[in-house]
Amino acid sequence: MEKNVPYLIDFESARYDDTEIDFIETALRWSGLADLNIDYKKLKTFFKVYKMYIDISGIDFKELLVPNLLGRFDFLYYNLDITLINKTTDIYLKNNAEQQVIQMIKEICYYYQNIDELARKCTLFAK
């Protein structure tokens, strides 16, 4: 806010995106991926409600989950760039980026270890 006028900021990842990518990313976040513990009951509930409005029965979830996983490497690179290459004098930004690097490495490993089961469950829940 500046003089009671709102401004939108922080557009580094703003883009027009595929609805399937947005769907799976939201489903993963709501079901616990960031906590490294996907709650399949929450995921199933998310799918159940989403299916009331959008047909997701034809999605190949393995084909959708792999690029979603690879997208996490972009975020990892972004934060590595802040911590290692474009060194900043902003201590808060640097500390946050360092924490994001650690978290993203954990998330990538967890995601990779669970991607087959996740694809299987997503396909089942989409029916």
Tell me, yes or no, whether 12 lies in a domain: no
Q: Is the pLDDT of residue 14 over 60?
A: no
Distance CA 95, CA 22 (A): 28
Q: How many domains is the chain partitioned into structurally?
A: 1
Tell me, yes or no, whether 91 lies in a domain: yes
Q: For 65-98, what is each residue's pLDDT tens digit?
A: 998 899 899 999 999 998 888 777 888 888 999 9
Tell me, yes or no, whether 14 lies in a domain: no
Tell me, yes or no, whether 4 lies in a domain: no
Residue 16: what pLDDT? Answer: 57
Question: 3-state class of 38 per DSSP?
Answer: coil
- Using a 10 angstrom Cβ sphere, with 0-12 exposed, 13-18 middle and 19 or more buried, the burial of residue 76 is middle
Q: For 16-63, what is each residue's pLDDT tens digit?
A: 567 888 899 999 999 999 899 999 999 999 999 999 999 998 999 999
Domain that holds residue 24: 19-126
Q: pTM for this structure?
A: 0.77
Residue 6: what pLDDT? Answer: 81
Tell me, yes or no, whether 3 lies in a domain: no
Residue 99: what pLDDT? Answer: 95
Those residues whose C-beta lies under 8 Å from the C-beta of residue 14, and which sit 6 or more positions away, are none
**How does the average pLDDT of the chain come out, rounded?**
89
